[in-house]
Each structure stands twice: as C-alpha cells, then as structure tokens.
Structure 1
Amino acid sequence: MAEVGENVKQESQQEIKEETGAVEEDIKIENDRNGIPIPIPRNSSKKDYKNLVKQKKSRAWTDGGDGSLKDKETLVGGPKKKVAILISYCGKNYHGLQHNPGDDKVDTIEKRVFQALVAAKVVYSNVINDRKKCAYQSCSRTDKGVSAIGNVASLKCKIPKNLCELVNAHLPDDIRLTSFEQVTKGFCAKKRCTHRTYSYYCPTICFGSKEDWDRPSSFRISAEKLEGVRELLKKYIGTRSYHNFTSGKRQGDESAKRHILDFRIQGDPFICNEWEYVELRVVGQSFMIHQIRKMVGLIIARAGNHW
C-alpha cells in the first residue's frame, strides 16, 4: 500500500508540473550516443523541455558553462530532405557494400560513404551506428570485391546544391557520389527497385577443355562453343529455387526462389592483355549472396566438359 501511495504522490507532482509548465532545475537527460548529460536550463517551459528531449535523439550536446546548451555538431545550410544518391565504386579493396554498425575492423563501401557524409556535415555522426536515424536503404548489396557503375541508395540529409562535391572531397578515389535527386518522403531505394543488372567478365579459356589450358592466353572460343554457352545461360531464365547457389538455405525454402529476367553473353568476345574475355550479363529482380558467381561457376563446369 505504501508503494501505491508513493506512486500516486509522484503522479500528482507530475500533473502540477505539467499544469504550471515548469521543469525542475536539476533534471538531466542522458545523450543516446555518447552518454553526455544534457542540462536543462532553469525555468524551462514545458514546450522547451519537449524540444530538448526530441533534439537529443539526433544531436550531440554539451554544457555551455552558463546553463546554456551548446550544439557539438553543425550541419551545412540548406533543406534536410529525402534524396536518392547514385554511387559508383571499385570494390577491389573492400569487403562488399554493406557495413555492420560497430564493426570498425572491416572496410566497406557504406562505411566510407557515411564517414564522408558526416565529414561533409550533411548528416549527424550518430547515423554511422544507427542508419534508421536517416532512413538509409540501398537498392543492391554487392559482395566482397564486386564493383558498381551505379548503385542507388536513399536517405534523409541536408541537400546543398554542391552535395556531390562536398561528399566526394572526403571519399577515396575508388568511390564516387556521381549524382543525387530529391525524392518523396516515402521513397525507399530497395522497395522501388524493379530489377538489378550484373555483369561478370570471364576469360573464354574457362569454357575450354583441359588441353586448351596449355596456352590459355592464345585460346579463342569457337562460334559453336559460344552458342552452346548462350543456350546454357537461357536455362536460368524464369523463377526457380537457388537454395544450392547460396548459403543458409534449405531445399523447399520459399525465400530461396529468385526470378531471372535475362542471362546472356553481351556483345562479342574481346581481348584484354592478350586474353579473350566475354561479358556475361544477368538481369533479375533480386539475388542472394554468392548466387551469381555460383551460377557462372556451374556454366563453366558444364561447358568445359561438353564440347
């Protein structure tokens, strides 16, 4: 009974505070990001108090020394809106696109992009470990070593006219923000993406026989074998399960089904550093981790032993 009475007393005191609009002088709020307490100025109104509670969720504050609050981060001018950004990168030196918050040992494309966004002062630094604060979504996640001519992502940030220039100044040379466009508030790059296109550049010697590997750089694929590879690629088109082309999926798992729109040899074979290559281009609604490289691997294993 004593505990219930104490709760009623506390609630009554809270109602009095709300009616008067006053906030106690000693109230402090812990900052979500780095634990710095935010002092509430003396005689703050109820409205001011609520604003501080709201702001502390997305900004870092420190005591100004005179009872005032000092913002530790200042963003560039311009509106803060939802944007779609187009990112191009060479993935050779990175462990894929996706970055797991808190894992600073692995270098990824997203890690570098967010570091640049913070350095350019278009987002607050707390988004590095909490992407939900800026509603970030990418339309495609590339694996380790995979590059992208254009990968679209959406997020909420400041959008000065020179956004690309500001961000690129803090990016390494193998990652570029090439363009951006303001979008609607509900836009999500992942959900609005209708299909993804990947190109896999493969030496034609991979489709040759064991004997052809004696002089791999001089190998040139025959028209017959090239046509045979084209026919094999067509067998992937349609909807089927790819549980054995990835990891963590079992036979019969509905989530392992993928719809392939097109899989072809794009253009003619070409020479690079004396070796002959072909571009294998696949278009699908979505792909699982390692799926494409295993699809190509199966074609190589089949073609090398068939003709």
Structure 2
Amino acid sequence: KGKKGDRGRGEWSRTKVDKRKRNDEYREYKRRKISDIDNPKANPFSKEEIEAESRRPKRKVAVMIGYAGTGYKGMQLNGDEETIERDLFQAFIKAGAISKANADDPRKSSLARCARTDKGVHAAGNVISLKLIIEEDDIVDKINEALPAQIRVWGIQRTNNSYNCYQYCDSRWYEYLMPSYCLLPPHPQSFLGKKLVEINKEYGAEEETSARLADVKNFWEEVDEKEIKPILARLDPETRAAVLESLHSEQAAAEAETDETNKADNEEAAEPAAAQQETAKEDGDYTVQPKRRELGPVDFALRDIKAAYIGAKRAYRVSPERIQRLQEALNKYEGTNNFHNYTVQKSHGDPSSKRHIRSFVVNPKPIIIGDTEWLSLKVHGQSFMMHQIRKMVGLVTLMVRCGTSLDRITESYGPKKMAIPKMPGLGLLLERPVFENYNKRAKETLGREDIDFDKYNEKLEAFKQEQIYSRIFGVEEKENSFHSFFTQIDQFRSNHFLWLTAGGM
C-alpha cells in the first residue's frame, strides 16, 4: 500500500490538468486558425440593396495578380489592416465580381492565396483562387480601375470547382536584386577584414584566399589613396587622430546599431540596441529624450568619409570572374538539402527542414541604374521557409566577398549551428508560382486553359520596371540599405561570422 495521502495516476491527472478546458481551448485555437478573419465586419450594404441585386452565378477562378508591396502590411487579409487582399476584395465588390450579399466575408467566396508575402515584399506574379462573377467580358478592366496602380490583375482563369491555388502550386520562382558592390571584400581595417587576414595566415590559407580575391586585390587601397587621404589631409592633427581612431570601429558599429533597417535584417547585431530600448522602457523613460549632441569636426569628417566610401562602392563594376564565383556557390544549393540553418526554429532532425531547389542562377549581365550596378539572382524551388532565400543569398555573398571555400555551404547542411545573416528584404520579390501538374490536368481532362503568366509577359515586365524595380532602386539610393548591412557585418565584434575564415565552423 502507498503512504497516506498518495494518489493514483488517474486522480493525479484529474487534479493537475483540466482536460475539458484544455480541449475547449484547443478547439477554439483550431477554429481561429482555420479562419482568415476572426471577426467578419458587418455587410457594408443595406438589406434593401442586397435584395434589389439580381442573383448571378459564381465561378471558381484563378486570379493572376502582381503588386508592389510598399506601404502594405503583407498579402493576407487581416481585419482593417492595409493588405493586398483587402484592396483586391474591395475592388472585386466595386466591379461587381462579388455580390453585395457576400461583401461582408471573403470566406463566402472561398478566398485562398498561392503565396503569402510579408510586409513590403513585392510580387510580379501571384495567384489567388476564389468564386467570382465573371459574366462580363471587361471584368478585368473594371477590377483594375478600382485598384491603385501598384496592384494589377493580369487575368482571370476558370478552374474546376475543387481548385485551391495553394494546394495545387508545384513550385515558385523568386528574384533577388542586389548592388554588385555587395561582392566587394571587407575593408582591411574592419574587424572582419583583420580577422580574415589573421586566421587565414594561421591556417596557411593566405595564397588560396588571395587567389579568389585577385580581381579586387587593390580596391580598398586605391579608394583610401584617392578618396580618403585628401579628406584626412584637410584636417588638423588632433581631428585627424580622432577620426582615424573612430574609423572602422566604434563609429561604424554605432552607425549600424542605430540604423532601423539593419535592426530588422540582423537580429544578432541589433540585440544590444533593442536591449537598451527595453531597459529604458522598464525604467519608465518614456517622455524624456536625450538631448541631441551638436556635431563637431570629427562628425563632419566621418560623414564625408562615409559618403566617399559609398560613392566608391557605387562606382564599382563587378568582374566576370566574381560573377562566375557567385554562380559556382549558388550551384551548391541545387537538389534536396537540409536548410535548418537558413530559417528560424528548425532543427537538423526536423524533416520539414529539407527543401528542394531546382535552380539558382545569377544573370551574367548586370544592369546599371543611376550610378549603381545591380545583379539579379533567380531561384526556383518547390517551397521556401521563413527567411530562407535571404539567408541563402546572404551566405553565398559573404563567402564570395571573403574568398571562403565553397565547402562551407555543404557544411551548413550538417547538424552544426551556423550564424547566417539574412540579406535586406528590400531586394526580394516573388517572380511567379508554377502549376505544372494542374496545367497538364487542365488541358487533358478538365477542358480548361492552363494558368500561365507568359501570356502577360509584356505587361508584367513593364509593371516590374515601373512599380517594383523603381521602388527597390529608389530606396537603396536614399537609404544605402546594403552598405549599412555589410558595414554592420564587418564591424560585428564577435565570432559569429568567423566561419568565413579558413578556421571554419
């Protein structure tokens, strides 16, 4: 017999866990998860208006769309938030493609999306599926008239009634745009630049690394000689000494910490700044702001030097050898691999960490916009995890600029954890989804046209130039997002990124 007061397993379980409450909470969670909108709004039309409208048949369709995500909080409907689907749904109602009776709840139209893009992310091609009234021949024009210029409907295609664009999508194409100066090596006086020299020398990999960086060997020496020395020569000895002490060290690190874009793009380096903000909140410092420090000669000199470095980077033109090196690195991604290091909250043993990449190609012909040269990278894969593409681009870019062995990519698929920074979200856009299996079935058995963006190529390319590329190029020109990102990486005083050296992981 057990001691007095001991309880059996059943009694212990009943007293420790309220199973009914737990099950009710789980059912509520599932109910909310299934719904895209927790609290549908009241119908904007009166009962009389709804009854006066004639009933017309709805058809299940695939709507091919494109949009510039600037100013929107993502693709998916989320209450009254400014999202792409919110504006699309309102345009469908105005154009008469959705009846007044169904205007209060998108679920009545079986709305689904192929790819759910995040805040600010663009899409040249995406697909939503739902039931629409498409009797009128000019319905696409009417919908576009009700939409802002940065959202376009390319076409509407009839499908079978069971069609769901998310479930039927076989693969997706994404494009990533970045300035070619991203492939320049770290400045020799930066923290990462010094560590590369130090550790590569320790492992006897100096010649091997130098050979990979031969085409940019003297870049920083020439910039310092032609652009930076004249600025320093104008300064008095005391100011010059202070500038040299701050250059490539505290000043650069402070600049990175206060840059809002980089806080979002590199969690590791942004943590100290975020922690300081949280501490201030806990201390009740909500209203008192620190007095703005007046700029002095050192600040102005550092500002001029930063502008000179940015100008030199923008004037850089990438060599065919570096593009080839980048392509060789991208080739390592092809096939099925374990990408647990390229996302968040995934372990090496998680089966969902394995993803299949069909191709990853850099366009060998860069384009010049303004005074900056840009590279276009396109990846084709079945599906992608959170941050995966940005981290994939981040890894190969860092490896090319540091002359790192390409074996590091293979090692990243292994069980060891690897700190891979994600590139700025600015350059990412969804090119188009692919429906190979559905299109084959549509032609052979369903008697429907296939879902193909190629028929809209001319309009789609014009839209990309006017609405997407112009925004990407404009933001970079104004905010120097990529320059700030790599400055932060190069000055991050930790061993997080020393796997770029010959010392490895």
Same fold (TM over 0.5): yes
Instruction: Give the Cα–Cα distance (whole angstroms) in 2 for the partners of residues 251 and 278 of structure 1.
Output: 32
1:203 counterpart (179, 197, 205): 179
1:33 CA drift (Å): 6.0
Assess if the C-alpha contact under 8 Å between 2:89 and 2:106 holds in 1: no
Matching of residue 143 in structure 1 with residue 118 in structure 2: yes
What count of residue pairs does the alignment treat as equivalent?
A: 244
2:68 counterpart (74, 82, 90): 90
What does 1:98-117 align with in structure 2 at a 5 Å threshold? 98-100=76-78, 102=79, 104=80, 106-117=81-92
| Greater fraction of residues in strand | 1
Helix, strand or coil at the partner of 2:70: helix
1:230 counterpart (327, 337, 345): 327
1:290 CA drift (Å): 2.0
Instruction: Give the Cα–Cα distance (whole angstroms) in 1 for the partners of residues 51 and 115 of structure 2.
Output: 31
1:264 counterpart (361, 384, 388): 361
Structure 2 vs 1, CA of residues 255 and 80 (structure 1 numbering), >3 Å: closer, same or farther? same
Instruction: Give the Cα–Cα distance (whole angstroms) in 1 for the partners of residues 70 and 168 of structure 2.
Output: 28
Q: What amino acid is the match of 2:335? A: G
1:274 counterpart (368, 371, 383): 371
Instruction: Give the Cα–Cα distance (whole angstroms) in 2 for the partners of residues 76 and 149 of structure 1.
Output: 36
Assess if the C-alpha contact under 8 Å between 1:75 and 1:123 holds in 2: no
Q: What amino acid is the match of 2:91? A: A
Structure 2 vs 1, CA of residues 35 and 186 (structure 1 numbering), >3 Å: closer, same or farther? closer
Helix, strand or coil at the partner of 2:366: strand
| Greater fraction of residues in helix | 2
Matching of residue 174 in structure 1 with residue 150 in structure 2: yes
Instruction: Give the Cα–Cα distance (whole angstroms) in 2 for the partners of residues 304 and 283 of structure 1.
Output: 24
1:156 counterpart (131, 140, 144): 131
State TM-score, norm by structure 2: 0.45
Q: What amino acid is the match of 2:139? A: L
1:95 CA drift (Å): 2.2
Instruction: Give the Cα–Cα distance (whole angstroms) in 1 for the partners of residues 349 and 403 of structure 2.
Output: 30
Counterpart of 1:242 in structure 2 is 339
State TM-score, norm by structure 1: 0.71
1:71 CA drift (Å): 5.2
Instruction: Give the Cα–Cα distance (whole angstroms) in 1 for the partners of residues 52 and 346 of structure 2.
Output: 46
Helix, strand or coil at the partner of 2:399: helix
Counterpart of 1:16 in structure 2 is none
2:107 counterpart (132, 140, 149): 132
Helix, strand or coil at the partner of 1:184: coil
Q: What is the CA deviation profile of residues 216-238 of structure 1, one whole-angstrom value per residue up to 9, with x for unaligned ones?
A: 11111122211110011011111
Instruction: Give the Cα–Cα distance (whole angstroms) in 1 for the partners of residues 166 and 178 of structure 2.
Output: 28
1:295 counterpart (373, 380, 392): 392
Counterpart of 1:216 in structure 2 is 313
Q: What is the CA deviation profile of residues 67-108 of structure 1, one whole-angstrom value per residue up to 9, with x for unaligned ones?
A: xxx4537667753101111101111222221223x2x2x322
Assess if the C-alpha contact under 8 Å between 1:33 and 1:126 holds in 2: no
1:34 CA drift (Å): 6.6
Assess if the C-alpha contact under 8 Å between 1:73 and 1:124 holds in 2: no
Assess if the C-alpha contact under 8 Å between 1:75 and 1:122 holds in 2: no
1:121 counterpart (83, 88, 96): 96
Identity among equivalent positions (%) equals 37
Counterpart of 2:241 in structure 1 is none
Structure 2 vs 1, CA of residues 126 and 78 (structure 1 numbering), >3 Å: closer, same or farther? closer
Question: Please, which runs of 5 or more residues in structure 1 have no aligned partner?
Answer: 1-31, 37-58, 63-69
Assess if the C-alpha contact under 8 Å between 2:72 and 2:120 holds in 1: yes
Counterpart of 1:50 in structure 2 is none
